Structure 1
Amino acid sequence: MIGAAFRLYLVAVVLQYAFFSAFGIPFWANVCITVFLIWVYTYRAGIKTIVWTDTLQTTFLVLAVLLTVYTISKLYVTADASGVFQRVYKSDLSQVFFWDWRSPHFFWKQFIAGIFMTVAINGMDQDLMQKNLTCKSKREAQKNMLVFSVLFVFVVILFMSLGGMLYQYAQHAGIEVANAGDELYPLLALNHLGGAVAIAFLLGITAASFSSADSALTSMTTAFSIDFLRLDDLKNSTKMKYRKWIHLGFAALLAVVIVVFHMINDENVVIALFKAAGYTYGPILGLFVFAILFRRKVQDRLVPFLALGAPLLTFITSAFSKQLFNGYEFGFELLILNGLIMLLGLFFISEKK
């Protein structure tokens, strides 16, 4: 829920900046309209709709980035697309290797945390796994994961390069973007890069957020209906009635979480998303590793308390890390610490079978 809200929050901010503010429509109404649109098309056809709409949305997203890169390259007098990439590559904006072990950006810290983050966010999330489960066979699901992984590397490099290009273009054009943050891309796309880029950007950013929120809404409805309420044991007519109300309830809850996040957020959404993932996915990671490594029987009634206690203890450790660990600051490796605390806790509340 938190992950989907963060992603959808980004498109809500852009739409507010581009359209709704001009008509005096408040942010909460913007969020309600956006979530309602997602609810309508997921309500009608579920996962089948999502598979097709995600394909279209991903296409729009990548095309928007490519068009932006092309436009920026033409706005430099002597540059082509490869020249713009070269500028980013040679600048400080492309730095990957940070060797200060106390820094949140320390390379090995980020690298190892990234491995666990990928396992947790992709491998243990119903949101993403449900698409593999719709494949006709295990082989097709494996092919889907491999193709996705390879393509994802190139898409991430493209997006990271675009970030550098936007900052360099702003500096080149004398545009002040020091405090733009998440509004950097909309600021430039809607006001400085021409109508074609503005339209492509709006389509792309909307597609990106919708494609994550729609699958999250469907997966939460499915998981809550089957795993918590055991609706599979009921008659089809009764089951469908309950699922419709659950679907609507999760849509309303998603809108509330976005509005609350808008009220309290004070940092970049992507950073906030991964920080939140470190807390919300940690217990899941701990449970998964425990189930793989050990054949022990846990005391089930204590597991929910442990799943709440592990993130809380992680937060306290992170808050006082400088004092406790000689200036060391936690970054995204909070997920590993959280999962480890959960794993140790499970070991202590379990016994050999």
Structure 2
Amino acid sequence: MPTFLLFAFVIGYFLLLLAVAWRTSRHSNNEAFFIGNRKSNWMLVAFGMIGTSLSGVTFVSVPGTVGDWAGEAHKAWTYFQVIIGYWFGYLVIAFILLPLYYRLQLTSIYRYLHTRFGSVAYRTGALFFIISRTVGATARLYLVINVLHIFILKDLGIPFGLTTLVILLMILLYTFEGGVKTIVYTDTLQTTFMLLGLCVCTVYILQHLHLSLGGAFQALNVRGFTHVFNGDVNSKGFWGKQILGGMFIAIAMTGLDQEMMQKNISVKNVHDSKKNVMTFSFIMVLVSFLFLLLGGLLYLYSLQQGAVYEGHALMLGGKNVIGDDLFPTMALHYLPAAVSIIFIIGLISALFPSADGALTALTASFCIDLLGLQGRDDLSEAQKKRVRMTVHISFAVVFLLCILVFKWVDNKSIVNTVLELAGYTYGPLLGLFAFGIFTKRVLPNTGMITVLCLLAPVGCYFLSQYSAKWFGGFQIGLELLVINGLLTFLGLWGLSKKG
């Protein structure tokens, strides 16, 4: 597939996004930017949220985990344990968090912490969201930009830093005016193309391998690619840890995340918002399973193309393709040109939702929660808009710097990195919200709240590093998030008094 042709499709797709952004952002104001004037259609929000939640991590990294190794066996479909946990987490979001947010008529969900505890807890929660979403979004964005650079733009002589800068400028262009009002529509478009890429690649490989769906399951089972539940209690991948961790990751990374919730609270009423979350959760489980199925098929296809296992590496064309390199390598070098084009469209469709919503949400949180922009009667609407645009551009610069750091670190499996980082950064948010919802105790409005929220992740880091040594081989996995939230909760309890 000629590099220039692939690049032309990237540019064409971006122009389509610009057209949608122009159409949806006309006559928009700050209220439209932050929460879409609370007029978003719940079906569009539910469908668009799939693209935001899956992002490039699911599109590229999840299929690669199937043939990766856990001890002496393939990880296979053990990631589905996390997906099961996600579904339980979405139930908590729909029936506990959303009614709370709508009852308080929140624009920023962290305003709840102000109502419950005061300004310090409020700004601490917003600060941890900003850290969490910045790290998570840039990790996802790095993955897709790196694939585009290695497989397309590098051949054109374009350096990685310039690739990143241009893509961030593209995202800025179509989110600058419309914010959430625009993103509800662009995410719907991008989710459609992402799922198209998933389905076309799956169907083509099934046909090429002359397999029915049932035959594919049998072939994958022979290779050990269909194993789901890990029964080793000491392992990070133990099913209990994965399901529990997945549940709280969904609560934290969706229910306590301004980016995800600003789309939900942009829906007209809480009833429609609940329908949105439950619809989204069902489709999310189904699509995640299809990505795991595709991962197994990609490994079978690579073996047919001459790939050879060398220990825990799968060598094809002199390169180890296990992990994040599997899907792009097969799609761009070993599948027909038409499928390669669909893969690229699906890939960039996975790229933009992981960044456009994050930039908008971070801008909203910084302006509302840290700068108090909505309550500034001394500023005109035009002045507020200038402040918001300055913050928006500033976060784009922060994204650029973070992506360059991820390139320097160069991790082979970003999905594991994202989930591990979430355990550290979202834990204090989980502890703060749980303390507010499930107790009636009050906190002093002091900086000790922030100190406790910073100490909990530090304690978790040392616990994670030395757990195997201290607890007879027991390794801490995704339950790190729960432990982090619990440490924060206990610290707040010690600081609090009866209400």
Q: TM-score, normalised by structure 2?
A: 0.69
Say if 2:308 is the partner of 1:308: no
Map 1:82-161 → 2, pairs under 5 A? 82-89=214-221, 91-161=223-293
Shift of 1:18: 1.9
Query: Structure 1 residues 90, 51: closer, same or farther in 2, change over 3 A?
Result: farther
Give, in whole Å, the separation in 1 of the partners of 2:225 and 2:429: 34
C-alpha deviation, 1:98, in angstroms: 1.2
SS at match of 2:225: helix
1:201-226 Cα deviation digits (max 9, x unpaired): 11111111211211111000001001
Distance 2:218 2:389 in 1: 52
User: Higher mean Cα deviation, 180-189 or 168-177?
Assistant: 168-177
> What is the match of residue 215 of structure 1?
357
Matched, 1:80 2:212: yes
3-state SS in 1 of match to 2:442:
strand
User: Which residue of structure 2 aligns with residue 322 of structure 1?
Assistant: 468
Pairwise mapping of residues 125-274 of structure 1 onto structure 2 (< 5 A)?
125-176=257-308, 177-178=314-315, 179-180=320-321, 181-232=323-374, 233=376, 234-274=379-419
- Once the 2 structures are TM-superposed, how far is the Cα of residue 86 of structure 1 from its aligned partner? 4.1
For 1:350 and 1:209, locate their aligned partners in 2 and report how far apart those are by CA, in whole Å. Answer: 43
2:184 matched to which residue of 1? 51
Summarize the Cα distance change of 1:235–1:313 in structure 2 as closer, same or farther, 3 Å threshold.
Answer: same
Q: Deviations over 1:271-303 (max 9, x none)?
A: 100001111111111111111121222233111
1:336 and 2:482 matched: yes
Aligned to 1:61: 194
1:211 aligned partner, one-letter code: P
Looking at structure 2, the residues matched to 86 and 124 of structure 1 have their Cα atoms a distance apart, in angstroms, of 40
- Where 1:104 maps in the other structure, the secondary structure is coil
| CA distance in 1 between partners of 2:225 and 2:258 (Å) | 35
Matched residue type, 1:304: T
**C-alpha separation between the residues in 2 aligned to 1:89 and 1:215?**
38
User: Cα 1:98–1:81, aligned 2, differ >3 Å: closer, same or farther?
Assistant: closer
Q: Give the residue type in structure 2 aligned to 1:292.
A: I
Quote the residue 1:20 is aligned against.
Answer: 153
- The aligned length equals 352
1:34 corresponds, among 167, 173, 184, to: 167
5+ residue gaps, structure 2: 1-133, 309-313
Provide the secondary structure at the position in 2 that maps to 1:182: coil
User: What is the CA-CA distance between 1:90 and the residue it aligns to?
Assistant: 5.2
- Shift of the 12–32 alpha-carbon distance from structure 1 to 2, 3 Å rule, reads same
AA of the residue aligned to 2:276: N
Contact 2:145/2:351 (CA < 8 Å) preserved in 1?
A: no
**1:70, 1:81 within 8 Å by CA — same for their partners in 2?**
no
CA positional deviation for 1:124: 0.7
CA distance in 1, matches of 2:273, 2:267: 6
Check 1:331–1:70 CA distance in 2 against 1; reply closer, same or farther (3 A cut).
Answer: same
Distance 1:86 1:202 in 2: 30
Kept in 2, the 8 Å contact 1:73–1:83? The answer is no
Q: 1 CA distance for matches of 2:325 and 2:168?
A: 21
Q: Who is 2:4 aligned against? A: none
> What do you get for the CA RMSD once the two structures are aligned?
1.4
| 1:3-38 per-position Cα deviation (integer Å, ceiling 9, x unaligned) | 110111111011112211102211111111111111
Give the residue type in structure 2 aligned to 1:182: D
Paired letter, 1:270 = V
Distance in 1 separating the partners of 2:296 and 2:198: 13
Distance in 2, matches of 1:331 and 1:267, equals 18
Report what 1:345 is aligned to: 491
In 2, the alpha carbon distance for the partners of 1:86 and 1:155 equals: 21
SS at match of 1:311: helix
CA distance in 1, matches of 2:193, 2:269: 28
Q: For residues 476 and 345 of structure 2, what CA distance do their matches in structure 1 show?
A: 36
Deviation per CA, 1:316-342: give whole Å up to 9, x if none: 110011111110111111111111111
Alpha-carbon displacement from aligned partner over 1:173-204 (angstroms, at most 9, x marks no partner): 21354532211110000000111111111111
SS at match of 1:151: helix
Q: Which has the higher helix share?
A: 1
Alignment partner, residue 130 of structure 2: none
- Point out the more displaced range, 143-152 or 172-181: 172-181
Question: How far off is 1:161 after superposition?
Answer: 0.9
* CA–CA distance in structure 2, aligned partners of residues 48 and 247 of structure 1: 16
Deviation at 1:138, TM superposition (A): 1.5
Distance across 1 between alignment mates of 2:221 and 2:254: 29
Q: CA deviation at 1:88?
A: 2.8
Query: Which aligned runs of 4 or more in structure 1 are off by greater than 6 angstroms?
Result: none
Structure 1 window deviating more from structure 2 (11-20 vs 183-192): it is 11-20
The answer for unaligned runs of 5 or more in structure 1 is: none
Could you tell me how far apart the structure 2 residues matched to 1:101 and 1:267 are? 26
